[in-house]
Amino acid sequence: MNVILRGVRVIDPLAGVDRAPQDVWIEAGRIRALDDRIEAGGVPVIDFTRAGGEPVVLCPGFIDLHVHLRDPGDSGAETTATGARAAAAGGFTHIVAMANTDPPHDSPELLRDAIERSQNAAVRVMHVAAMTHGLDGAALVDVEACIGAGAVALSDDGRNAAPGALLSEALARAGELGRPVLVHPEDEAAISRFNPFGGVTRCSDRPPETEVAAVKAAVKALASTAGGRLHLQHLSAAGSLEPLRLARQRGLTITAEVTPHHLARWAAMSPPEPASLRKVNPPLRSANDRAAMLQALLDGTIDAIATDHAPHRSDEKTNNYDSSAPGMIGLETALAACITLGDLAGRRLPVLVERLTAGPHRVLGEASGVKEPRVRVGEVADIVVFDPDAGWTVSDDTLFSRSRNTPWLGTELRGRVLLTVAHGRVVHSLDARIPVADREPAGV
């Protein structure tokens, strides 16, 4: 790849840069130059300059803290390869895969196997280790060995069965190695009371209090440790924000994420068919909860946007809402959902970019080994180019995920990823002049 991308708006949150129009020259997988105007004889120019509307944005590649790849255990729903390809189409250059596979990634051997299977993926796939064996909350995994095998964090995501003392120990041991513990904040005991004859995972009745109670319990566990790093996944209830803010005021190391689907204005959408396409854990809540999540994202209380990409086979998303599996795919629609239905367009666009790049990087921390998300001359390119004004329809033809369980199927959204370059390699392109590369450039 040797090309000049002309007339883009460069947003680099860590550098405090938001400048347009700019030219960016990418050669052999690296950013060779960045300036108001670059002239280089013989180098092809792709001109994104436009007279009106929002300029095309070039920014660091997105980082997704929360992805389910179903590998191993359910390759019919997703594999590492198909999930990574979907991530590339969504502008993500780094994704963090959860441990709730079959079997769960709860040992160093299983972690090493997962990491090995991810080596040739389109984007960098990082893995968390389960916090407890079998995700059942009874006994901690070998924390130090799992991190030594390459885990960037610990998480029993999908479950939250561990008692406070066990979570405290996990936070302390992971914190000594600079790793966060990612917690799925739902009070399983309370939820099970609503569904005494069924599994807690598929129970549809999950009121806000079950999330708020779990957030408070996780904060209590964090407060009893020294050096622990707690990350709260997919917050959805307005009541969860006060304990988060209070924990920060106490000086605790705590971060949080929100999903695009919990930011979306669902009243603007027609109901999907079947209705279970909207079923997620935690559930979609009230307009007040949604507004609180958006405000918390804007003011920095919430650090990151994460998709909770949860692919399912079609027979898992049936007309029987109560028995259907929770979750929806989200890698390819995240940007557009946030722009179109999440009220993160226009002057809020830099916040959206920050929460998809620098925010997730802060959550993972330096010990993860993930380089800073930057647009910097001389560095290997991990970038995304997207058009915030471009409309597109979510369809079988536009999705790379192996699953189709999205309530936005058939919906026209605004905001399209045009180009994704991961570790110097073009992994997604809508421009025939920039073909997807089979391998990394030499010297990268």
Residue in the structure block whose two tokens are 């304990």: 243
Question: Mind listing the pLDDT tens digit for each residue in 286-311?
Answer: 999 999 999 999 999 999 999 999 99
pLDDT at res. 194? 79
pLDDT at res. 196? 61
Question: Which residue intervals of 100-154 are DSSP H helices?
Answer: 108-117, 143-148
pLDDT at res. 434? 94
What is the C-alpha to C-alpha distance for residues 217 and 319, in angstroms, rounded to an integer? 35
Residues (pLDDT < 70) of the chain are: 196-198
Question: Mind listing the pLDDT tens digit for each residue in 232-269?
Answer: 999 999 999 999 999 999 999 999 999 999 999 998 88
What is the C-alpha to C-alpha distance for residues 425 and 443, in angstroms, rounded to an integer? 12
CATH class of 2-58+377-389+404-429: mainly beta
Q: Which residues neighbour 411 within 8 Å (Cβ) at sequence distance 6 or greater?
A: 269, 270, 393, 394
pLDDT at res. 15? 98
pLDDT at res. 420? 98
Positive or negative, the CA dihedral 61, 367, 297, 264 is positive
Of the residues 308, 343, 382, 387, which is catalytic?
A: 308
Q: Which pair of tokens denotes residue 210? A: 């079950």
Examine the residue annotation and report whether 35 is marked as an active-site residue of this protein.
Answer: no
Question: Mind listing the pLDDT tens digit for each residue in 6-46?
Answer: 999 999 999 999 999 999 999 999 999 999 999 998 999 99
**What CATH architecture applies to the domain 61-368?**
Alpha-Beta Barrel (3.20)
154: part of which helix (H) or strand (E)? strand 154-155
Show me where the domains of the chain are located: 2-58+377-389+404-429, 61-368
Supply the pTM of this predicted model.
0.97
pLDDT at res. 318? 84
pLDDT at res. 438? 83
pLDDT at res. 198? 63
